[in-house]
Amino acid sequence: MTRAETLTELIESNRGVERALIYLDGEKDERRVSYGELYQRALGILFHLQALGARPGDKLILFLNNNEQFLDAWWAAVLGGIVPVPVALGISDEHRHKLLRIARKLGSPYLYTDRKTFERIGQFAASTADGPVFEAMRGRSFFADTIDDISRSGAVHRAHPGDTAFIQFSSGSTSEPKGVVLTHANILANGRGAGEAAGFNTDDVPLSWMPLTHDMGLIGFHIFMFMHRMNVHLMPTELFIRRPLLWLQLVSRKRATLLSSPNFGYRHYLKVLGDRSFEDLDLASVRLIFNGAEPISVDLAEEFLARMQPAGLARTAMLPVYGLAEASLAVSFPPLGRPYRSICLDRHRMGVGEAPPRVEHTNRDAMELMAVGSAIPYCELSLVDDTDRPVAPGHVGHILIRGENVTRGYYEDPAANAAAFTADGWLRTGDLGLIDDGDLYITGRAKEIIFVNGQNYFPHDLESIALRAPGLELGKVVVAGVRPRGAQADQLVAFILHRADMAAFLPTATEVARLINEHTGLEVAEVVPVKRVPKTTSGKIQRHLLEEAYVEGEFAAELAELARLRGAQRAPVATSGSEIEAKIKAICDTELGRAIGPGDNLFEIGASSLKLIAIHEGIDREYPGMIDLTELFDYPTITELATFIAGKLAQPAP
């Protein structure tokens, strides 16, 4: 591994190394870009950015779905001392809101995207208060799909280890986003620590479907692997979502040794796999599968390992890890070569300072936790009580971290920085945990973050979206992540203050689920009427009390009545007779697992982002190029989609 002190030195020192990035765009569709070619392409793009006016210290928002375009631009920015700011493209208005809020916070950023996405942002921004923010970026935007000449090289800026390398913004969309500032030294220290702990070497073969806007995707499975001079295989996230079985088929074919996935990926893969056999799948090459990014399900890890055992996947390959953006990425790893460990503790004894007793796995109050090891090199962790005093092993405490890999703070956010650090320089992660027999276990989250599909969402963000429903007020809507007994992942549940009958509540429940689904792509498991929203004496909502009541079944009668009312109101499922409408209805019925009516709104009936992607893929097979994924938001019913496509088919070819 190179001993570079900056990312600039890293890419320069690697340009002569015989290794490559391999972009996997399909079963037999791949493109190989050598380290040297990556360097030259980045210099060519830097020339254009500098011609546009970008200078060292300027911010460049990367708003791209294409992995190859993204990494070319990311390294171009690094070489020029320009600070890249990755932002997830997404398919909803809330992603565009987030982009504009980040642009406003950055002041005068440049934007790197494609022309079609840019036009969509402009159309959206024109209808919001952030229209001027977009207009200010118009002359500072560069389009990846318009580059036709990268023969001229930009001027390389000599960075220092303490310079800002890039900024990672939080997943929050409705509220003011927080930007984690990471230096060159932070990232390289974390890469060295992770490499030592995981035994990375040049013979390792990583393969990842994680998005490059996610720290595991960009830092863990690109920068760290690039540091250790591996052949890096990158699969588009959308391709994994559409064809999850292709993931391990490619792993088998490429003899990959390093993988990663949160709960979401394992669950999605197993669901599509079903009872299928996989005689040609050989996973004996896999050395490590990093399991993190959200609370780890022990049951799901066990199910995945058991299902993959006939394909040769070793039990010791599963590596449950803990990390966060503020640590650059990685905080703790378990020892290599050890099967995962877990413990069962009493879920009702998880308060800070408490020592929760062990219980049997079959105990109804058992909370099974996964061991995530100990701190990796160059990073320290400590567990403290509410007064910042260390807690003894076996006691729950707030997790603090410090080290060469830890951020110095958030971008232009003095209040957040003051709250984030202790007097002696430890960073408060917001997570709770305990140490048992040397292993860290994550027990909860003090910040009340909701984890869904490998991403973290803030309750007040989702509540703000729900408040757009008529008649709802602040303090009367509570959104929480709840894990029912036996479930492998958190469910998104909205609790609404309501004291009238269920028939009057049903329209509100439908609208809240539709709003959250449409604006975030998240599927709401239940919208629950509650007669009281529990709060502390200071007025803070006590989410945990509602979560516990839901798990205990206290709202079962109300939910059953709502289900009965929905069934009685369901629209007839007959179509108008149009061939296009019939085909689209067949696709929707198949992907949703039930029959829906031609006038049913996909967002009101809770179609998740995964289901929307599957529906779009089915329509695109029948009517290639007729409709974009984002246009499902504009035409959310079968009838509207059919009318739109019929209109396009009637137009003369250009």
In angstroms, rounded to a whole number, what is the distance separating the alpha carbons of residues 9 and 165? 12
Using pLDDT thresholds of 50, 70 and 90, give the confidence band for residue 539: low
Residues of 432-449 as b/e, b for ≥16 C-beta within 10 angstroms? Answer: bbbbbeebbbbbbbeebb
Predicted local confidence at residue 536, as pLDDT = 54
In angstroms, rounded to a whole number, what is the distance separating the alpha carbons of residues 170 and 179? 6
In the three-class reduction of DSSP (H, G, I as helix; E, B as strand; rest coil), residue 171 is classed as: coil
The residue among 41 and 522 whose pLDDT is bigger is 41
For residue 530, pLDDT over 80 is answered with yes
For residue 385, pLDDT over 50 is answered with yes
Using pLDDT thresholds of 50, 70 and 90, give the confidence band for residue 456: low
Tokens for 504? Answer: 């009057």
For residue 41, pLDDT over 90 is answered with yes
The residue among 77 and 631 whose pLDDT is bigger is 77
**Contact yes or no for 64/113 (Cβ under 8 A):** yes
Of 262, 249, 268, the C-alpha closest to 289 is 262
Q: What is the mean pLDDT of residues 263-273?
A: 90
pLDDT, tens digit, for every residue of 272-315? Answer: 999 888 888 999 999 999 998 777 889 899 999 999 999 999 99
pTM: 0.82
Predicted local confidence at residue 127, as pLDDT = 86
**Contact yes or no for 342/436 (Cβ under 8 A):** no
In angstroms, rounded to a whole number, what is the distance separating the alpha carbons of residues 238 and 209? 8
**Contact yes or no for 626/613 (Cβ under 8 A):** no
The residue among 352 and 319 whose pLDDT is bigger is 319
For residue 575, pLDDT over 60 is answered with no
For residue 568, pLDDT over 90 is answered with no
Task: List 33's β-bridge partners, or say none.
Answer: 21
Q: What is the mean pLDDT of residues 227-253?
A: 96
pLDDT, tens digit, for every residue of 171-204? Answer: 544 457 889 999 999 999 999 999 999 999 999 9
Predicted local confidence at residue 421, as pLDDT = 96
Using pLDDT thresholds of 50, 70 and 90, give the confidence band for residue 63: very high
Q: What is the mean pLDDT of residues 538-556?
A: 83
The residue among 115 and 593 whose pLDDT is bigger is 115
Predicted local confidence at residue 173, as pLDDT = 42
The residue among 535 and 420 whose pLDDT is bigger is 420
For residue 250, pLDDT over 90 is answered with yes
Question: Which residue matches tokens 């009965």?
Answer: 564
For residue 654, pLDDT over 50 is answered with no
The CA-atom distances, in angstroms, between 112 and each of 151, 169, 176 are: 19, 16, 22
Tokens for 372? Answer: 């995530």
The residue among 505 and 351 whose pLDDT is bigger is 505
Predicted local confidence at residue 177, as pLDDT = 80
Q: What is the mean pLDDT of residues 136-142?
A: 94
For the ranges 268-282, 420-434, 559-573, the lowest mean pLDDT is seen at 559-573
The CA-atom distances, in angstroms, between 137 and each of 130, 223, 505, 618 are: 11, 28, 44, 36
Q: What is the mean pLDDT of residues 259-275?
A: 91
pLDDT, tens digit, for every residue of 630-641? Answer: 788 888 899 999
For the ranges 79-93, 176-190, 246-260, the lowest mean pLDDT is seen at 79-93
For the ranges 142-151, 369-378, 572-581, the lowest mean pLDDT is seen at 572-581
Predicted local confidence at residue 519, as pLDDT = 74
For the ranges 117-121, 481-485, 566-570, 592-596, the lowest mean pLDDT is seen at 566-570
Q: What is the mean pLDDT of residues 415-443?
A: 94
For residue 398, pLDDT over 70 is answered with yes
Predicted local confidence at residue 652, as pLDDT = 61
The residue among 118 and 2 whose pLDDT is bigger is 118
Long-range contacts, 127-131 (Cβ 8 Å, 24+)? 128/97, 128/100, 130/97, 130/100, 130/101, 130/103, 130/104
Q: What is the mean pLDDT of residues 505-525?
A: 87
Q: What is the mean pLDDT of residues 590-596?
A: 83
Predicted local confidence at residue 313, as pLDDT = 97
In angstroms, rounded to a whole number, what is the distance separating the alpha carbons of residues 153 and 174? 39
Predicted local confidence at residue 538, as pLDDT = 46
Of 273, 478, 435, the C-alpha closest to 341 is 435
**Strand blocks (E) in 342-415:** 342-346, 366-370, 374-375, 379-384, 397-403, 409-410
For residue 249, pLDDT over 70 is answered with yes
Using pLDDT thresholds of 50, 70 and 90, give the confidence band for residue 1: low
pLDDT, tens digit, for every residue of 601-610? Answer: 887 776 777 7
